[in-house]
Structure 1
Amino acid sequence: MTESDSAGQQPQQEEAASAPASGAAPSRRAVLGWGGAGFALGAAAAGGAVTAFGGGPDMVSAAAAGASVSFHGEHQAGIASAVQDRLHFAAFDVKTKDREELIKLLKEWTVAARLMAAGLPVGEGGFGGLPEAPPDDTGEALGLKASRLTLTIGFGPGLFAKDRFGLEGKRPEALVDLELFPGDNLDPARSGGDLCVQACADDPQVAVHAIRQLARIGFGRTAMRWSQLGFGKTSSTTPDEQTPRNMMGFKDGTRNISGTDKAALDKHVWVGAGDGSDWLTGGSYLVARRIRMNIETWDRTPLQEQEDIFGRDKGEGAPVGKSRERDEPFLKAMKPEAHVRLAHPDTNNGATILRRGYSFTDGTDGLGRLDAGLFFLAYQRDIRKGFIPIQRNLARSDVLNEYIQHVGSAVFAVPPGVRDKDDWWGRTLFA
């Protein structure tokens, strides 16, 4: 849990995807040729006119209408895009040893992701095909709108290992293996992965369906290593919206990078042309951390102590000594070990990340304690200059560490966006 500076890029275009009442979405045969990742989708195929939405009230209208987010672009959707309410994140191990088979899989995943982002079923759909064969789509999202679904892929360090896919010379220097920070209690079963896919949507069933389809397509070539469901976004890329609260009841991500601040996104999030890995230009780096909160202990902590720990008041979210949430914090007025003070860019030589965190609850442990916390997603231009210095500072002296523990961790290189119908996830890496 960290507090970021404000900054951003042009938001991904939102497309109204509510189909007319008098007609179903077209079948795959009508819009998709089986020549690799070839695909053509216009406004008619999406089931309605295309409308652009910004932040604020228009974004709320887009969410209510079940709008779709454009799959194509210079950058992948799901990073600077307006944060949706639900998450299904999955990490996969690649089982095939064949480079061409991996490329084929990524092309097939791209086709499926493009369809699902538009609110369309995969393949021939969930019914109407050969009775003797399983349907192409599992069907649980049939009749549901796109719900601003975004699918974002990342490549883990293992993909670049020697004698696997001939990519060892293409591993970016900034894709580093994270050190074990003080207090970490990482579970290998909830860490790592060759590939990751982040599915975000306003409807949980849409997000879960998306990961389920990709896992199904990858059967035999990939295996899901771990996954995480999330709800109640704990950060926002649209500053004019109400700042969400985390499971500790505090507003989280007040100073997150804005999805419309191009200068800040270019500086802190997107990999630049001179950063050392040409194939990753326009992409980013992702750090995923599963952070469990000691909810029962926190709930017995006095209010004043809670506010001192964060460096903000619990009601308005204002920094210590200020009256409004977005007032510039006066760090020296906070306790030296306050979370906001230690996470602030001014305390970390300007280190800034874009956050897309989600709360989670996964039942209880053997002692009856709630297994709940924050699934932390941090995008940055360079992990060595973003997450690592911030986390070192927090791990060393943040008093919040008494109430949280990092139990899962993974890093990924996130390739640039899919530019057009002939492009596919990872093309720049494998070219």
Structure 2
Amino acid sequence: MSISRRTMFGLGAAGAAAVGAGAIAARSLLEEPTAAHAASTSDPFPFYGEHQAGIVTPAQDRLHFVAFDVTTSRRDELLELLQEWTAAAARLTQGKEAGAFGAVGGPAEGAPDDTGEALGLPASGLTLTIGFGASLFDDRFGLAAKLPAALAPLPKFPGERLIPEISGGDICVQACAHDPQVAVHAIRNLARIGFGRVSVRWSQLGFGRTSSTSRAQVTPRNLMGFKDGTNNMKLEDAALVREQLWASAADGAAWMAGGSYLVTRKIRMTIETWDRTSLREQEDIFGRDKGEGAPVGKAREFDPVDLAAMKPDAHVRLAHPSQHGDAHLLRRGYNFVDGSDGLGRLDAGLFFIAYQRDPRKQFVPVQMSLARTDPLNEYIKHVSSGLFACPPGVRDAGDFWGRELFA
């Protein structure tokens, strides 16, 4: 499928030349994101590749996540938007402005094609990752036959109190970066480009990653003070990543081959109650010590877990892959603090993000077990939920987000 005229113009002369010449200019960015490490927090990650960046990419420090509702009913307008977004994303992730003329290079009588608040800032490791919700596969765009079985609605889990207004969505975009202004700038410009065709349904800012996606990263802590994601799937686990992260054409949706399924959960913590809980009870609940992060009965964080040594309902035990048919998740969540709730309590917690090959076999059984018996539920509540199909990566400048879905 060809790129629209408007998108070609948005790419600028260099982008147009790349498309016309078979995207030769884009080849320098065609690194495999699964193994990409930026040299510093200021440097860019490759945009083009077999898989989307922002999944196994070493998790950055900041997040701006947004879910959009598509407001146009025209298939051609949605296609054009995805092309324009892809062109902008390719520029933004490399530290450039969203459009060819930037914030100040266009005619003074017209609106700039970049909002300008990231002028002078480096790429800061920005990644942009797109996903499609089940609601996009209704009768508006002729996509019903391509709805993946893995996008089946998540079941209602015991105890959850989801807020519909901050759940779901037709399309999501995850912006991760080491500078919050860079992440916010990227989402702001995609929303600006999408005006009249999409509207923001909900969004979430996050800070302080709560999982490591690479063995080169130290394990971070969540707002309860515990190391989080010690046994998270890592990009270096090549066989596990291939088996449990990336979708295959054999799974039933050929357009998703090389993609992954994203589950988001906004989990609010009753911080004040947790802070008055004894250290022993906190450690019993998690099944790890609070200082080192070692599992019960062990001395170091990465010592093998002895499930028999911890309480039957310890969080680590309930979530352990051995309890769910060896189901693994690639987690890359973030802390959030959204002010207070008007009663003097912090509106804070974890914005959970997990990628996997099939949520029905991975997230659902793990979460069902936790929802039923995890003592941590006394201190947390799930208030939003999202499930999205994240397509494979953009191969070159002649490609765009979701092209195979619309082929």
Question: Normalization by structure 1: what TM-score?
Answer: 0.88
1:232 to 208, 215, 224: 208
Letter in 1 for 2:85: W
Structure 1 partner of 2:40: 62
Q: CA RMSD in A?
A: 2.1
2:16 to 25, 29, 33: 33
Asked if 1:149 is matched to 2:132, the reply is: no
Q: Deviation per CA, 1:345-371, whole angstroms, max 9, x where unpaired?
A: 011121111001100000000211100
1:279 to 247, 255, 258: 255
Asked if 1:395 is matched to 2:378, the reply is: no
| Secondary structure of 1:68 counterpart | coil
Answer whether contact 2:151 2:389 (CA < 8 A) is retained: yes
Residue 33 of structure 1: how far off its partner (Å): 2.5
* CA–CA separation in structure 2 for the residues paired with 1:185 and 1:281: 33
Structure 2 partner of 1:129: 106
Q: Deviation per CA, 1:57-78, whole angstroms, max 9, x where unpaired?
A: x75x421xx1101001110000
Bigger share in helix = 2
Structure 2 partner of 1:204: 180
Letter in 1 for 2:51: H
| Secondary structure of 1:350 counterpart | coil
Letter in 2 for 1:258: K
Structure 1 partner of 2:75: 99
Asked if 1:418 is matched to 2:394, the reply is: yes
Letter in 1 for 2:107: L
* CA–CA separation in structure 1 for the residues paired with 2:45 and 2:216: 19
* CA–CA separation in structure 1 for the residues paired with 2:282 and 2:173: 35
Structure 2 partner of 1:9: none
TM-aligned CA distance change 1:403 to 1:34, over 3 Å: farther
Identity in percent: 62
Residue 30 of structure 1: how far off its partner (Å): 4.4
Structure 2 partner of 1:160: 137
Structure 2 partner of 1:311: 287
Answer whether contact 1:31 1:40 (CA < 8 A) is retained: no
Q: Which runs of 5+ in 2 are unaligned?
A: 1-9
| Secondary structure of 2:172 counterpart | strand
Answer whether contact 2:215 2:236 (CA < 8 A) is retained: no
Q: Deviation per CA, 1:93-133, whole angstroms, max 9, x where unpaired?
A: 00000011100000000000000011111211000311111
| Secondary structure of 2:40 counterpart | helix
Structure 1 partner of 2:3: none
TM-aligned CA distance change 1:80 to 1:53, over 3 Å: closer
Answer whether contact 1:87 1:229 (CA < 8 A) is retained: yes
Asked if 1:268 is matched to 2:244, the reply is: yes
Answer whether contact 2:34 2:51 (CA < 8 A) is retained: no
Q: Deviation per CA, 1:113-154, whole angstroms, max 9, x where unpaired?
A: 000011111211000311111111000011110011000000
| Secondary structure of 1:174 counterpart | helix
Letter in 2 for 1:316: E
Residue 54 of structure 1: how far off its partner (Å): 6.4
4+ runs deviating over 4 angstroms: 34-44, 52-55
* CA–CA separation in structure 2 for the residues paired with 1:387 and 1:116: 32
TM-aligned CA distance change 1:278 to 1:226, over 3 Å: same
* CA–CA separation in structure 2 for the residues paired with 1:155 and 1:149: 20
* CA–CA separation in structure 2 for the residues paired with 1:401 and 1:128: 53
Answer whether contact 2:34 2:235 (CA < 8 A) is retained: no
TM-aligned CA distance change 1:53 to 1:195, over 3 Å: closer
Residue 199 of structure 1: how far off its partner (Å): 0.3
Asked if 1:118 is matched to 2:94, the reply is: yes
Answer whether contact 1:39 1:422 (CA < 8 A) is retained: yes
TM-aligned CA distance change 1:281 to 1:360, over 3 Å: same
Answer whether contact 1:53 1:62 (CA < 8 A) is retained: no
| Secondary structure of 2:106 counterpart | coil
Residue 400 of structure 1: how far off its partner (Å): 0.3
Asked if 1:363 is matched to 2:339, the reply is: yes
Structure 2 partner of 1:7: none
Q: Deviation per CA, 1:293-312, whole angstroms, max 9, x where unpaired?
A: 00000000000100000000
Aligned runs of 1:158-197 on 2, under 5 Å?
158-161=135-138, 163-197=139-173
Answer whether contact 1:31 1:39 (CA < 8 A) is retained: no
Answer whether contact 2:26 2:396 (CA < 8 A) is retained: no
Q: Deviation per CA, 1:254-301, whole angstroms, max 9, x where unpaired?
A: 011111222111111000121110010000100000000000000000
Structure 1 partner of 2:296: 320
Answer whether contact 2:35 2:57 (CA < 8 A) is retained: no
TM-aligned CA distance change 1:368 to 1:34, over 3 Å: farther
Residue 35 of structure 1: how far off its partner (Å): 10
TM-aligned CA distance change 1:118 to 1:388, over 3 Å: same
* CA–CA separation in structure 2 for the residues paired with 1:404 and 1:240: 30
Answer whether contact 2:18 2:25 (CA < 8 A) is retained: no
Structure 1 partner of 2:267: 291
* CA–CA separation in structure 1 for the residues paired with 2:210 and 2:43: 22
Question: Normalization by structure 2: what TM-score?
Answer: 0.93
Asked if 1:138 is matched to 2:115, the reply is: yes
Structure 2 partner of 1:80: 56
Answer whether contact 2:15 2:397 (CA < 8 A) is retained: no
* CA–CA separation in structure 2 for the residues paired with 1:164 and 1:410: 21
Q: Which runs of 5+ in 1 are unaligned?
A: 1-26
Answer whether contact 1:251 1:314 (CA < 8 A) is retained: yes
TM-aligned CA distance change 1:39 to 1:371, over 3 Å: farther
